[in-house]
Structure 1
Amino acid sequence: MSHHHDTEPTDETGMTDEEKRRDQLTSAPDAVESDADPRIDVTHRDGVTRIDIRDDAAVRPGDPTRDPQE
């Protein structure tokens, strides 16, 4: 029996993209469940896709040695 939602596509592994992402991010020896927390929000509106880095993301893109306000 599958535990997937009917709207979530799966591949030959039987896993959704989100399940594969979580599996990959939590399989390292010292990984913790929070390693798989979402880091981006994706919204679609009027044919435009917007990707925003979440404020609560533990890992953020950019140069960690520079102040982001500069």
Structure 2
Amino acid sequence: MSDYTNDSTTDAMTDEEKRRDQLLAAPNATEDDAAPRIEVTDRGEGITRIDIRDDAPVRPGNPEEDPGTADDGA
């Protein structure tokens, strides 16, 4: 048996609403914290493309490296 109880209010929420609710629950959280950071495109035939949004405040990469000096392997 689990201590976790399924709250009926979270059952009625969409995945996006649950995501937003969780991100805004932290102390000092702002609406910017819940802003979308990725775009997902379904291209059909089982192909899904995931892109980091250009306006995302946080982007993947090495935090110790200046983004303008990243080695792109070229």
**Aligned-partner Cα distance in 2 for 1:66–1:25:** 27
More helix by share: 2
Structure 1 unmatched ranges of 5 or more:
1-10
The alignment's TM-score, normalised by the length of structure 2, stands at 0.71
Structure 2 unmatched ranges of 5 or more:
1-8
Q: Which residue of 2 aligns with 1:15?
A: 13
Select 2:36's aligned residue among 35, 38, 44. 38
Range 37-46 or range 15-24, more displaced: 37-46
Q: Which residue of 2 aligns with 1:65?
A: 64
Q: How many residues end up aligned between the 2 structures?
A: 60
Percent of aligned pairs with the same residue? 65
After the TM superposition, list the runs of 4 or more consecutive aligned residues in structure 1 that deviate by more than 4 angstroms: none
Give the RMSD, CA atoms, in angstroms.
1.8
Contact kept? 2:23, 2:33, Cα under 8 Å: yes
CA 1:45–1:33: 2 relative to 1, 3 Å: same
